Amino acid sequence: MTDRHHNGLKTTLLFAVMWALLLAIGGLLASGTGSSSFIWIFAGLGLLSTFYSYWNSDKLALRAMAARPVSEAEAPILYAMVRELATSARQPMPRMYISPTAQPNAFATGRNPQNAAVCVTEGILRMLEPRELRAVLGHELMHVYNRDILTSSVAAAFAGLITSVAQFMVFFGGNRERGGNPLAMLATALLAPIAASLIQMAISRTREFDADEDGAQLSGDPLALASALRKLDSGTAARPLQPSQRMENVSHMMIANPFRGGGMSRLFSTHPPMQERIARLERMAGY
């Protein structure tokens, strides 16, 4: 069984765990308030939020990185690489953007291949060799082709919904007369958002592994992607971006974690360890 099959199964199981967690806290909330209507209200709000972020994912991400559209005349080599990869995948040519960011990084976004956008930073254009850049672009295109924007939007909606319901429980859920258990509700309200965030991050990491594998197959050059990841690992560490709400909303789309991380923060990382990603790519190449 390939890594891809394992990752698909992992994603399904993680969503199942998140759904079970939501049902559990929904049951606690219903027992404490005597009504299940609140969970449906939160679900509706979560659905609207998910639809908005999914539909506008390209605009939100590009704005966060201050990216500008670039023409083929300005970046002929970049266009040639992406057009060749998109043609090999039998997909339309995406819109191209460059972000004036010194950190070497890249991301692709858009709700489907017809509305896709690929963005590279000025830093990555300076750092990578053409062969490595082509492999990175293959990775990013596969995020779009695998519908990872939809997957991450749904995961974020689940996590947000669980957090909102848990917070609501703190203030309105503990009614002893209705059979609610205030201590259980308080514990759930504190722990459920943490669990939801961990699951959301785990889903993001599985999608990165798939994009590595599928992108390497699309470019036909897993060692080039491995080499690029080595350079990006040191490049992003040397120039970490400052965390903000806007940047955190786009960080999971990037090929390398843009923030400084280590220790316990790795639990909440949207990206798998670089060394593990590199090792998988080298195994693909027969190393």
User: Which one, of 279, 267, 174, lies nearest residue 223 by Cα?
Assistant: 279
Q: Of 132, 140, 208, 213, which one is the catalytic site residue?
A: 140
- CA atoms within 13 Å, Cβ hemisphere of 105: 26
Catalytic-residue membership of 140: yes
Q: How far is CA 259 from CA 70, 125, 239, 262, in A?
A: 26, 19, 9, 10
Residue by residue, DSSP assigns 219-245 as HT-HHHHHHHHHHHHHHHHHSPPPP-H
Other CB atoms within 10 A of residue 7 CB: 20
Q: Which amino acid is at 94?
A: P
Q: Where are the beta strands (DSSP E) in the chain?
A: 68-69, 95-99, 106-109, 117-121
Q: Which amino acid is at 52?
A: Y
User: Which one, of 256, 280, 151, 276, lies nearest residue 203 by Cα?
Assistant: 151
Catalytic residues: 140
